[in-house]
């Protein structure tokens, strides 16, 4: 009922309901209470008719949810109604590298086997695409470049960013998320 009434109407509705419960309501107040309830029911009926009309049009024209709402809006609605967990956990995997056919993960420390040639190439202004194990994962690539920039103090060239399908903005956002 509260969603169908304005704040002032709901406040008056509550007052009149209390009077009715304590049997101190006058006939004029009882009429006012009936009018408030009738307006709320009319709004509910109007909304139900509008929703039915919308549902009919959606079915008639074969409209899919993704045509009406963005994926973020759909996910937010699913979270609201408990269909998926409420907390959105962003799990970003650590940067992965390959060098001489050997895989490496940059968790806390990067082994010298790959650190030296990777850092040398990076600081020399060369492409490091051949080192990156997941070049198609833009988020991991941005994190990798951000981490390399922070550790070497060198800025990766925009041409090499384009080679990895990254933008300077993506790297700056990744840099901002890196722990101090």
How far is it, in rounded angstroms, from Cα 163 to Cα 177?
A: 23
Q: Give the SS3 label for residue 132.
A: strand
When the pLDDT of each residue in the chain is averaged and rounded to a whole number, the result is 86
Evaluate if residue 138 carries a pLDDT over 60: yes
3-state helix, strand, coil in the chain (%, to 5): 60, 5, 35
pLDDT at 28 over 90: yes
Radius of gyration of the chain (CA): 30
pLDDT (tens digit per residue) in 114-130: 889 999 999 999 999 99
- Is residue 136's pLDDT more than 90? no
Three-state SS annotation for 42-54: HHHHHHHHHHHHH
Looking from the CA of 143 toward its CB, the CA atoms found within 13 Å total: 19
Tokens of 13: 């509705």
pLDDT at 133: 86
For position 90, what pLDDT does the model report? 60
Per-residue H/E/C for 83-121: CCCCCCCCCCCCCEEEECCEEEECCCCCCHHHHHHHHHH
Tell me: the pLDDT tens digits for 30-79?
999 999 999 999 999 999 999 899 889 888 888 887 778 887 888 888 88
Which of the residue ranges 78-82, 90-94, 170-174 would you say has the lowest mean pLDDT? 90-94
Distance CA 139, CA 169 (A): 12
Strand partners, 102: 99
pLDDT of 1 reads 67
Contacts (Cβ under 8 Å, ≥6 apart) of 85: 79
* Res. 92: pLDDT tops 70: no
Model pTM above 0.95: no
Question: Residue 101: is its pLDDT beyond 70?
Answer: yes
Domain ranges of the chain: 2-80, 96-177
Angle of helix 7-21 relative to helix 27-61, nearest 10 degrees?
A: 130
């Amino acid at each position: 009922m509260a969603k169908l009434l304005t704040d002032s109407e709901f406040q008056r509705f509550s007052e009149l309901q209390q009077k009715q419960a304590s049997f101190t309501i006058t006939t004029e107040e009882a009429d006012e209470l009936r009018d408030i309830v009738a307006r709320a029911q009319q709004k509910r009926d109007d909304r139900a008719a509008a929703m039915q009309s919308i549902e009919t049009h959606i079915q008639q024209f074969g409209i899919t949810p993704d045509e009406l709402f963005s994926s973020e809006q759909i996910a937010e609605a699913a979270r609201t109604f408990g269909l998926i967990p409420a907390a959105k956990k962003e799990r970003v995997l650590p940067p992965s590298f390959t060098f001489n056919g050997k895989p490496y993960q940059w968790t806390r420390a990067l082994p010298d086997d790959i650190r030296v040639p990777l850092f040398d190439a990076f600081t020399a202004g060369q492409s490091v695409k051949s080192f990156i194990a997941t070049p198609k994962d833009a988020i991991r690539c941005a994190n990798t470049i951000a981490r390399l920039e922070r550790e070497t103090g060198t800025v990766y060239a925009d041409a090499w960013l384009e080679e990895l399908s990254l933008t300077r903005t993506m790297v700056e956002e990744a840099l901002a998320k890196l722990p101090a």
